[in-house]
Structures are given as C-alpha cells and as structure tokens.
Chains A and B, each alone.
Chain A
Amino acid sequence: MPKVAIKAECLVKWFGEGDAKTNAVREVSLEAYFGEMVYIVGPSGSGKTTLLSILSGILRPNSGSVQVDDVDIWGLGSDQLADFRLNKIGFVFQDYHLFPRLNTAENVAIPLILRRKDWDEAIREAVKYLDIVGLKGRAALPPVKLSGGEQQRVAIARALAGQPDILIMDEPTASLDGDTGQSIIKFVRSNVLNDSRCILVVTHDSRISEFASRILKMEDGRLTGAERMAA
C-alpha cells in the first residue's frame, strides 16, 4: 500500500463577504499517494488552482486541514510554512516565473540559494538538474533565449532542485503547443515521478490525460468524481 503524501479533509475556502462572497472550495477531502501523478481537472473557475494553493501551503483555508507527510501544514507558523514549501514542495508555475535577469543555471539554483547553500555550489548543483532536463548546454543563457518548452523544463529543473516530496504543476501545458506539452509531461512522468514523490497537476488539457495516475474532477468548488488511469 503506497504511503499517503497529502491528506486533505473538509477544505473550505471562500473569497469576499456578503453579496460578493464566492465559494471557491467547498468541503473538499482527498488523499494523494507517493508514486502518484494526480491531475485536478475542471472548467475555469471551478476552484482547482485555489485547491492546489491550499494543498501546497500557499493559501490558508477558512476551515479544514491538510496533512503533508503526516504534518498538519496549516498548524505551522509563517516561517515554518515557508520552510515547509522550500523543503517539501516544488512549484512549476503556469507562466514559469523565471527571472529574466538571471541565467538559466542561476534560475534553477534559487531554491538552493534560499536554503543558504553556497552560491558556487548551488550553481554546480543547478547544472546537474539542467542536465536531467536536457538543458545543460543552456546553463549560461538567459531564459528569454530559450523556447517555451525549454523554459518549462527550466522551471521543472528549478522545482526539482529542492528535491521536493511533492511537485505542484499549475497548467504546465497551457503555454505550449500540443507536441511540446505532451513531451514535457511524458518526461515528468518517466523521469521525475518516483516512489517517494507525488505530483499534483492542475490542467484542463485533455491531451495529456494518458499520463495521469488519477484524475480528480472539480466543478463549482467540489470534487465531483475521480478516475483511475491505467498508466
């Protein structure tokens, strides 16, 4: 039986008050396991990004709890929560959020630098992760000199550099063409996912469904169904 990576219970999150109140997440409970690549899919505005933010320790829920590797993350103080994100979570943002003024290796080294690793050592380690995503030769280039697919892989390398237990990918194929998107997810599935890592992917791209372990469907802030994939 695989170990539980994330356990969420009765998560509720709303924005605004009174007439402007929007229920983004309603009574959501879920479990994700190490070795799984879980997709959260649903139409725009269904609350999947909000849910992802709550699960990754970025957005505090109004009620409910989240346990990551048996730690109640919303019981942590702000500094501990930052440390939790730094040490346990790897983020791949939709727009990558790479620093255009840093070169590729420096971008990848950011989580290591935040962990107070020596600059040169962090860069050396970052180049190793760039090698994993096949971009070692681009280490000295700024991100703007890379294609969209390459930038996405740099973002993945940066997320991996912190050796996270949980990898969070927000719409990873939204800015990529179909083939590139597929190849990226395929790469993640075969090279990044392992028995001690859980990957959560928010997407509405049905073309990459085949790479999911499980697909959780969301609508109007609720999980409306789950589908276990053969992959």
Chain B
Amino acid sequence: MKGILKLAYKLLVNDKAKFTALLVGITFAVFLMVQMTSMFAGVLNRASATVINTGATIWVMDPSVQTVANTIGMPDYILDAVRSMQGVKYAVPLYSGGALVKLPDGAYQSVTVLGLDDTSLLGRPELTEGKIESIYAENAFIVVHDAEFPKLESPHVGSEFELNDHRGVIVGIAKVPTFGLFGVPTLYTTYSRAIQYIPNPRYTTSYVLVEPKSSGDILKIKRQVEALGYRALTSDDFMQKISNFYKYQTGLGTNILLMTVISFIVGLSISGQTFYTFILENLEKFGALKAIGAKSRQLVAMILFQATFTALTGYGLGVGLCVFLIWLARLRLPDYAALVTFFNLALAFFMVLVIAGVSSYVGVRKVLQIEPFDIFRG
C-alpha cells in the first residue's frame, strides 16, 4: 500500500497548480475558522479575567448579575450569613467597581478598582515590584502591569494620582494571568479603602468569595445561598455564565458562528470544486490504472490519501498562519484578544475532516463509476 500512496502523493503534488489551489482553499478556510473562534475565545477569556485572576472557589452574587463587571451590591448581612453556613471554611467580601483617575498631567482615565478583603487579601495578585503589606499603607494602590498599564502613564512604585479627590499612591506593581476585556487599567486596594474612595449606592459588597470545607460542600452552600435569595456559583460556573451572556445575549456568538460557518462553506466550496476538477482531469488515468489491474479499494485509498494529505497540510498551514498573525498583531496591539484553544483547533480539525470527506466522496464516486472499457473506447 505504501507504493500506492506514494503514487497518489506524486500525482497530487506534481500537479502544482491544483495542489496550490487546494491548499489555498483549505488554508484560508482553516485560518478564518480558527481566527474567528480564537477571537471569540479571547473575548470570553478576557470577560472572565477578574474571576480567573481572583481564583476564588465560590462566588456569591445577586441573581441578576450577568458578567463579573456588571456588579449589583449586596447588603452586608449576606457576608455574615454566608460565613455562618454549613460547609463554609471562610468567606470574604470583594469590591469591584469603576472609577476615574486623574493623572499627574491632568488627564482622566477610567480604571477598574478591586477591593480585597482587608484581613485576608484573598484574590491578591502576584507582585513584581513592592510588597503586598504596603497595601495597608495610607492611600495605597497596586497597579496591574497589563496592556492598559501605559494608560496610567506607566506608573512606578511611589507614583501618585487622584481618585475622587483622594490621593492615591502606587505601592506595588502586579502581574495577572489574564488581562481584562474593557481596555481600562486595573487597580487593587483594600475593601475598606475602595468603598471609602468610590461613591457607592447603599450596598457595597459586590461579591462574597467563599472557600468550602470540601468539594462535597459546594452543592450544600449553593442551596443555602439560594434560600437567601442570592446565587452561589463556582468559578467555572461563573465563567460559563459570563460566556453564555456574550454568546447568546450580545449577538457576538451568533456573528462568530455565522462567520465560522461561512468560512467552512467557502473552504468546502473551493476545495471540493478543485478536488473534483482534479479527479475529473485524472479520471482517464484512474480508468487506465483500473484496466492495468488496480483494485477499487486501491483507487479509493489513493483518493482518500490525497484528500486527507491536502486537508491536513492545509490545516497545519491555516493554524500556523493564524498563530503567526495573532503574534504579529500582538506586536502592535498587546491587548489583542485572541486565544487559540484546543476546542477551536478540534473544531477546525473536525470541519477540515468534513471538507476532506465530502471532497473525497465526490472523487471516489466518480472513480468507481469509470469503466476501464471507456479507456479503450477513448
């Protein structure tokens, strides 16, 4: 069989024009499919940045919360109620809100402020400069060194700014696993300072972060929180909820899905048509092979190999092109939200297999229909 496949390989790649057209079609389709889904995955990942960076096991929130940025304050007693629940190891408040920072040059810049529990600092980021204890100092803030960092004029430890007429001082620079979606810098401070500096409605607790005694207690905690009229979600559930919001309630998911389907159809059309033409042009030759003594299964193997080889090569090139362009884009736009996930790769791979399957099915049908006698008849 090895020789037959080499024969199929040579027949395919030596027809440079057709092979190039096939590769371009599949590469382009894969590139679009992976690019589209990667951008979407990037957006979803960024949308859950606070959940990922905080790392809490369970998030207690108002049932109307759709995304982590869309906070609805809860009364203080919720924290005490959760702390007293069965299965709770500990629970702390988290403040999440937006504010305007006045920079030394007089410019204003929106920021996201995360207020960490004063006692435990649960959810604190990893510092690259400064010490975490400095967060207790007067007017202290920690800034995240992400793509938005320059918007605060690239501060250093000791830099000052104003936040609602309060003096703010940078006491540490942090790094986080995931950058935010909304293009604003992130500042960390203590919960008490956050609610003191930022004007707030009556209720100030954005989330209660909970650590269960064991994983078996999660369901129990969820039920008890629900009985209070609030909702408890694990970090995975919360990210899924955020993801569902962007997928189904913003139109973003539908648009990406449409673009992915269009890419698939374009790839299928170009590759299917080109492969069909390739088979048609070689039909007499396949007939000659049949006359000489090639069995039908050998011809089918040749066609399947040609379709699969083209599909996999195109897949590799498409993924490579996508990764290269994301890399290139990040050189200019460090905040470019694109994430190539295994799911994206698997989805594109599946679609490429469908393209290869459909293309080879058409070819196989044609080749099996040709009678060697047609070769004699000319």
Report how many residues on chain A are interfacial, defined by Cβ distance under 8 Å.
35
Whether, in the assembled complex, B344 has its beta carbon less than 8 Å from a beta carbon of chain A, the answer is no
Q: Which residues of chain A are within 8 angstroms of B4 by Cβ–Cβ distance? A: 113-114, 116
Q: Are A97 and B285 in contact (CB under 8 A)?
A: yes
Q: Which residues of chain A are within 8 angstroms of B291 by Cβ–Cβ distance? A: 58, 85, 91, 93
Q: Are B292 and A119 in contact (CB under 8 A)?
A: no
Given the known interface contacts A58-B373, A58-B376, A82-B294, the answer about A97 and B288 at a Cβ–Cβ threshold of 8 Å is yes
Q: Are A99 and B372 in contact (CB under 8 A)?
A: no
Whether, in the assembled complex, B295 has its beta carbon less than 8 Å from a beta carbon of chain A, the answer is yes
State the CA gap A87–B295 with chains docked (Å).
13
Q: Are A114 and B14 in contact (CB under 8 A)?
A: no
State the CA gap A174–B1 with chains docked (Å).
35
Q: Mark A122-141, 1 if CB is under 8 A from B, else 0.
A: 10000000000000000000
Q: Are A82 and B376 in contact (CB under 8 A)?
A: no
State the CA gap A51–B367 with chains docked (Å).
24
Q: Which residues of chain A are within 8 angstroms of B293 by Cβ–Cβ distance? A: 82-87, 89, 111, 114, 162
Q: Which residues of chain A are within 8 angstroms of B295 by Cβ–Cβ distance? A: 78-79, 82
Given the known interface contacts A93-B375, A99-B11, A122-B3, the answer about A114 and B292 at a Cβ–Cβ threshold of 8 Å is yes
Q: Which residue of B has the minimal Cβ distance to A86?
A: B293
Chain B: interface size category: 20 to 34
CB of A4, distance to nearest CB on chain B (Å): 23
Q: Which residues of chain A are within 8 angstroms of B288 by Cβ–Cβ distance? A: 91, 93, 97
CB of A116, distance to nearest CB on chain B (Å): 6
State the CA gap A113–B377 with chains docked (Å).
26
Q: Which residues of chain B are within 8 angstroms of A228 by Cβ–Cβ distance? A: none
Whether, in the assembled complex, B366 has its beta carbon less than 8 Å from a beta carbon of chain A, the answer is no
CB of B248, distance to nearest CB on chain A (Å): 50
Q: Are B10 and A106 in contact (CB under 8 A)?
A: yes
Whether, in the assembled complex, A71 has its beta carbon less than 8 Å from a beta carbon of chain B, the answer is no
Q: Which residues of chain A are within 8 angstroms of B3 by Cβ–Cβ distance? A: 113, 116-119, 122
State the CA gap A40–B10 with chains docked (Å).
37
- Interface members, chain B 280-310 (any A CB < 8 Å): 284-285, 287-296, 298
Q: Which residues of chain A are within 8 angstroms of B6 by Cβ–Cβ distance? A: 113, 119
Interface of A is mostly: helix
Whether, in the assembled complex, B15 has its beta carbon less than 8 Å from a beta carbon of chain A, the answer is yes
Q: Which residue of A has the minimal Cβ distance to B372?
A: A58
CB of B375, distance to nearest CB on chain A (Å): 6
Whether, in the assembled complex, A101 has its beta carbon less than 8 Å from a beta carbon of chain B, the answer is yes
Whether, in the assembled complex, B378 has its beta carbon less than 8 Å from a beta carbon of chain A, the answer is yes
- Interface members, chain B 1-39 (any A CB < 8 Å): 1-4, 6-7, 10-11, 14-15
Q: Are A53 and B376 in contact (CB under 8 A)?
A: yes
Q: Which residues of chain A are within 8 angstroms of B10 by Cβ–Cβ distance? A: 101-102, 106
Q: Are A114 and B11 in contact (CB under 8 A)?
A: no
Q: Which residue of A has the minimal Cβ distance to B16?
A: A101
Q: Which residue of A has the minimal Cβ distance to B288?
A: A97
CB of A183, distance to nearest CB on chain B (Å): 24
Q: Are B292 and A111 in contact (CB under 8 A)?
A: yes
CB of A95, distance to nearest CB on chain B (Å): 7
State the CA gap A229–B292 with chains docked (Å).
30
Q: Which residue of B has the minimal Cβ distance to A113?
A: B3
Q: Which residues of chain B are within 8 angstroms of A102 by Cβ–Cβ distance? A: 7, 10-11, 14
Besides the known contacts A91-B291, A101-B14, A102-B10, 12 further A-B residue pairs in the complex with CB atoms under 8 A apart: A53-B373, A59-B372, A78-B295, A86-B292, A86-B293, A93-B288, A93-B376, A101-B10, A106-B10, A116-B3, A119-B3, A170-B376
- 9 tightest A-B CB contacts, nearest first: A86-B293, A101-B14, A97-B288, A113-B3, A85-B293, A59-B373, A58-B372, A82-B295, A119-B3
Which of B's residues lie within 8 Å of A, judged by CB?
1-4, 6-7, 10-11, 14-15, 284-285, 287-296, 298, 371-373, 375-378
What are 20 A-B contacts defined by CB distance under 8 Å? A49-B376, A53-B372, A53-B373, A58-B376, A59-B372, A86-B292, A86-B294, A94-B376, A97-B284, A101-B10, A102-B7, A113-B6, A114-B294, A116-B1, A116-B4, A117-B3, A118-B2, A119-B3, A119-B6, A162-B293
